[in-house]
Amino acid sequence: MHAYVDSFDFQGMEFDEAIRAFLQGFRLPGEAQKIDRIMEKFAERYCKCNPKVFSSADTAYVLAYSVILLNTDAHNPMVKNKMSAEDFIKNNRGIDDGKDVPEEYLRSLYERISRNEIKMKEVDLEAQQKQAVNSNRLLGLDSILNIVIRKRGEDSNMETSDDLIRHMQEQFKEKARKTESVYYAATDVVILRFMIEVCWAPMLAAFSVPLDQSDDEVVIALCLEGFHYAIHATSVMSMKTHRDVFVTSLAKFTSLHSPADIKQKNVDAIKVIVTIADEDGNYLQEAWEHILTCVSRFEHLHLLGEGAPPDATFFAFPQNDSEKTKQAKSTILPVLKKKGPGRMQYAASTVMRGSYDSTGIGSNTSGAVTSEQVNNLVSNLNMLEQVGSSEMNRIFTWSQKLNSEAIIDFVKALCKVSMEELRSPSDPRVFSLTKIVEIAHYNMNRIRLVWSSIWHVLSDFFVTIGCSGNLSIAIFAMDSLRQLSMKFLEREELANYNFQNEFMKPFVIVMRKSSAVEIRELIIRCVSQMVLSRVNNVKSGWKSMFMVFTTAAYDDHKNIVLLAFEIMEKIIRDYFPYITETETTTFTDCVNCLIAFTNSRFNKEISLNAIAFLQFCATKLAAGDLGSSSRNKDKETSGKISTPSPRTGKEGKQDNGEVTDKDDHLYFWFPLLAGLSELSFDPRSEIRQSALKVLFETLRNHGHLFSLPLWERVFESVLFPIFDYVRHAIDPSGSSSDLNEVETDGQLDQDAWLYETCTLALQLVVDLFVNFYTTVNPLLRKVLMLLVSFIKRPHQSLAGIGIAAFVRLMSNAGELFSDEKWLEVVLSLKEAVNATLPNFSFLDSGDFVTGNHEHASMAEDDRDPTESGSHDNESLRIQHLYANLSDAKCRAAVQLLLIQAVMEIYNVYRSQLSAKTILVLFEALHDVALHAHKINSNIILRSKLQEFGSMTQMQDPPLLRLENESYQICLTFLQNLVVDRPPSYEEVEVEVEVETRLVWLCQEVLEFYVEVAGSGRVSESSRGRQQHWLIPLGSGKRRELAARAPLVVAILQAIYNLGEISIEKNLAHFFPLLCSLISCEHGSTEVQVALSDMLSLSVGPLLLRSC
């Protein structure tokens, strides 16, 4: 059958089209089990061919049944009240793993099936007609579908019953007026319903009173027979209230709640209860609770009669020695002693009379037990032996014969009874709990739809009991669940189904909720046993298993963590191929579990081993070993039309409309890589280093498998977030901050994180980008933005790390860059330069502190209390000033590093850079030079900085070195452009622009030098006669001019190298400046020597020729 279904290709087909094609080849058999296996396999095949349509095959499985019902409902002439589209949508709510299938999808499905009947293969006309009359019964769907889809029409019958009764009463009155009475034979069984509604109360009294008061065997037999038929009739007619009244009354007549009063008629009532359970079990519904309560109490008395110790002796908390000794010496019933150690306190409670609604048998009242009472009890218990235990057990063994709705009612009732047994404070019992395990075994082979509903009830029950405060009961419940799981895992699960996962969820929930260490340890051992003994059959169950281990990884008890990781280690080492054999999504669950263990705070070795296993998983993923055995069989053709899906795919970026096998599991990488990425923030240095090593080794070794979209997500979601902490949280001052603490054993480790982890990670990102540049080159802009974000940070160490990484990137990848990429690089540098310009505007605001700031922090004893407010303001202003000065110094240092980096990059790739690229660099550094000169030439600002000399520790002028080096590099750029003449330089506009910029640069530098050289000299005039008295330059000014001299010498040399034509053309601009240079003082003789050479070799001959 599997081979036949696998031969179908449903790819691209709508769901109803697939069912049509499937059912045209054969007729569905009449047996429900066979239908179930066929539809289960169909759902699996459809989901394999169309993996994006439903979240799991369970959804397709339920919807397939629902579609068949809709088809019968819409096209069977016997169905009068047709199902509407709203009914169909309502019936299918929550079938998609608890979520709704989109309404538009269901409505479209409804309309297509309503218009076009799904017809199965015809055998002959007679069979076809028979199908039309009763399709549901033929398909075995009558009771199955009622589990998922509510019965329609039942409520409407109830609504009209009163009207019918009134109508019948009027007819009876009409007939009564006539002299003759005529007997009419009933033609419809529904008439019975109205008769019972009229006379049920007198019937109850007629059966109950004689049964209670009479000991006549004939009367008792007739009364019990009346109860039997009344319960049968009300059950079959679905008269719930009336049925429950009769059942409750009969259950009370058993006297099982008060064994001291049991007589022969009570035993006969018990036999009737058993008969009703056997014959009318399909109709009892909620009344099963009363039946099973009687069974529970009967079993309790039966065990007492045999002298077996009560369950409470196994579940009671340990007692001290004195209590045990006292108990051992207590009197034991003489008759019961022969059969077993039945103790006085339990026997005494059974002698006392109890109420039917009490949770146990009898009461807890203590008192002396007379020999007469004991003999009476023994007599009654012997009387119960008329009802054999085998007859009681038959109720449970025959549960597999109940229909699909009745078994669910039976299980619900049994769970309620078991809950009452276990909650008894004095006498907790596990009889019903053991029976739950039994009936689960008996009914496990029911069709999936029914078993799912059964397990939904049992799952909630096991979770409640597993979290019980009584540890022994909780252990018993978890062990029972383990037995069921072992049995269930013997069944094969097809691909894409989720039922194993649902079955094992109670383990997960109890693992999370239970406060008992013993229970959590037991769950881990139970899961371990399942893996070791049923690994071949585990499919979707892996998800729940990994959730158990993930919960254990965060446990507060070391032993739990160690035990869970030991099992996890064995699973990955020995059973990894099974994990992803059919369900590739379980790989993600495995990875998330390992990531949880990497955060273990108990044992560093666990974290390191978990990281190593993540690397192992990455190797398997790269090798394509995820579900390859099952998936490759189903890969048929590529590029087919994708199925119209009711949901948007979770992943699946496609290139050119094709999905390659490599891309089929791309998103599996992200949990693994992101988990390693997050470990870069781990406070333990070894873990951080190991995680980074594995992360980048994984990317380096397997990056060739990645497409550009995947790389984009890796950079955006995995690599860049590593540096979010650095870019947003490091203290700008570089000092320790409470906000930025990464603690290791309670001590601050920010510096270690910054200088070890961050620096290493940034270098690895750069190296990774370089290694896969041919694929990831479109991401250059994003990488540059990352580096620039470091440089922009007002933190000298961070900026230095960013600049070093920038240089590393250029050094390793620069030769691969095209002109467009180089332009991106220089524009990024320009952005970084402009963002880090030193800012001294805070000194111009007048907000700074004047006077002797060194005495601002006077002792508190020396100041008047009334001055405390002004003193606080003064302190705030000083702090503000410190912060601003620190920022300005940091920016100046960063700018020096930047221009040195620019020059280093330029020297390596000078031949590759276009004229346009170099001119952008020129503009960036020229802006730096102009800004520095503006600061250096501001006399007021410099004087203010001098006041805070001890605070600033800056030279005067503050940015002289920055100005000189920037101008020097600008001059170098322009001069080399003229010499190198790169390809784009041949354009006339570029050549003219370079020459113009060079002339302007020379003129600008000379003007600034002359301005500085003359700014300190004062002239005086006398009566209109321009007679100047010049004051000699001070030592500070001479040092400044000496520092500027090398730049001026280079400028003079550049003017000389312009050539005669250019010099002659710009002589009107240069000559006044040269004359000013002759007349001003200099800090060194270099300028004078260079000026003399230029005048004698270039300007002089030019002037002589023009004369």
Average pLDDT over residues 978-999: 80
Instruction: Give the active site residues.
Output: 31
* Closest to 272 measured CA to CA, from 410, 362, 391: 391
> What confidence score (pLDDT) does residue 417 get?
93
Looking at the predicted structure, is the pLDDT value of residue 663 above 60? no
Task: Read off the pLDDT of residues 31-74 as tens digits, 9 standing for 90 and up.
Answer: 667 777 788 888 888 888 888 788 778 888 888 888 888 888 88
Average pLDDT over residues 971-994: 82
Q: How far apart are the first and last CA of the chain?
A: 112
Angle between helices 685-702 and 759-771 (to 10 degrees): 0
pLDDT band at 444; cut points 50, 70, 90: confident
Looking at the predicted structure, is the pLDDT value of residue 565 above 90? yes
pLDDT band at 971; cut points 50, 70, 90: very high
DSSP-derived 3-state class of residue 1022: strand
Give the Cα separation of 470 and 232 in Å (integer): 40
> What confidence score (pLDDT) does residue 1073 get?
86
Q: Which is more confident, 775 or 31?
A: 775
> What confidence score (pLDDT) does residue 539 get?
86
> What confidence score (pLDDT) does residue 780 get?
92
Most confident range (mean pLDDT) of 264-273, 583-592, 942-951, 1061-1070 is 264-273
Looking at the predicted structure, is the pLDDT value of residue 654 above 70? no
The whole-chain average pLDDT of the chain stands at 77
Cα distances from 411 to residues 288, 623, 660, in angstroms, run 9, 47, 49
Find the DSSP H helices in 815-867: 819-835
Average pLDDT over residues 263-292: 90
Task: Give the other-Cβ count within 10 Å of 427's Cβ.
Answer: 20
> Is the Cβ–Cβ distance between 593 and 545 less than 8 Å?
no
Cis peptide before 1072 (omega within 30 of 0): no
Looking at the predicted structure, is the pLDDT value of residue 163 above 80? no
> What confidence score (pLDDT) does residue 460 get?
93
> Is the Cβ–Cβ distance between 269 and 250 less than 8 Å?
yes
> What confidence score (pLDDT) does residue 508 get?
94
Q: Nearest 5°: CA angle at 973, between 968 and 974?
A: 100
DSSP-derived 3-state class of residue 343: strand
Give the Cα separation of 1077 and 231 in Å (integer): 124
DSSP-derived 3-state class of residue 455: helix
pLDDT band at 317; cut points 50, 70, 90: very low
Average pLDDT over residues 919-941: 89
Task: Read off the pLDDT of residues 779-834 as tens digits, 9 standing for 90 and up.
Answer: 999 999 999 988 887 778 888 888 999 999 999 988 888 888 999 999 999 999 89
Looking at the predicted structure, is the pLDDT value of residue 592 above 50? yes
- Which tokens go with 650? 């979770």
> What confidence score (pLDDT) does residue 935 get?
86
Task: Read off the pLDDT of residues 274-283 as tens digits, 9 standing for 90 and up.
Answer: 999 999 999 9
> What confidence score (pLDDT) does residue 596 get?
92
> What confidence score (pLDDT) does residue 122 get?
54
Looking at the predicted structure, is the pLDDT value of residue 4 above 70? yes
pLDDT band at 411; cut points 50, 70, 90: very high
> What confidence score (pLDDT) does residue 322 get?
45
Give the Cα separation of 16 and 20 in Å (integer): 6
Average pLDDT over residues 356-361: 53
pLDDT > 70 in the chain, percent: 74
Q: Which is more confident, 147 or 818?
A: 818
Task: Read off the pLDDT of residues 863-911 as tens digits, 9 standing for 90 and up.
Answer: 455 555 666 777 787 777 788 888 888 888 898 999 999 999 999 998 8
Look up residue 308 and give its amino acid.
A
Strands 743-744 and 747-748, how do they pair? antiparallel
Looking at the predicted structure, is the pLDDT value of residue 709 above 90? no
Q: Which is more confident, 192 or 123?
A: 192
> What confidence score (pLDDT) does residue 739 get?
35
Residue 284, by phi and psi: left (phi above 0), alpha (psi -120 to 50) or beta?
alpha
Average pLDDT over residues 370-389: 66
Looking at the predicted structure, is the pLDDT value of residue 757 above 70? yes
- Provide the CA 206 distance to its chain's centre, in angstroms: 64
> What confidence score (pLDDT) does residue 178 get?
56
> What confidence score (pLDDT) does residue 582 get?
62
Most confident range (mean pLDDT) of 396-400, 580-584, 837-841, 940-944 is 396-400
Name, in order, each residue with C-beta under 8 angstroms of 456's C-beta and a sequence gap of 6 or more: none
Looking at the predicted structure, is the pLDDT value of residue 111 above 80? yes
pLDDT band at 769; cut points 50, 70, 90: very high
* Strand-pair partners of 96: 99
pLDDT band at 521; cut points 50, 70, 90: very high
- Which tokens go with 652? 């699946």
- Provide the CA 617 distance to its chain's centre, in angstroms: 19
Residue 25, CB-side half-sphere exposure with 13 Å CA sphere: 11
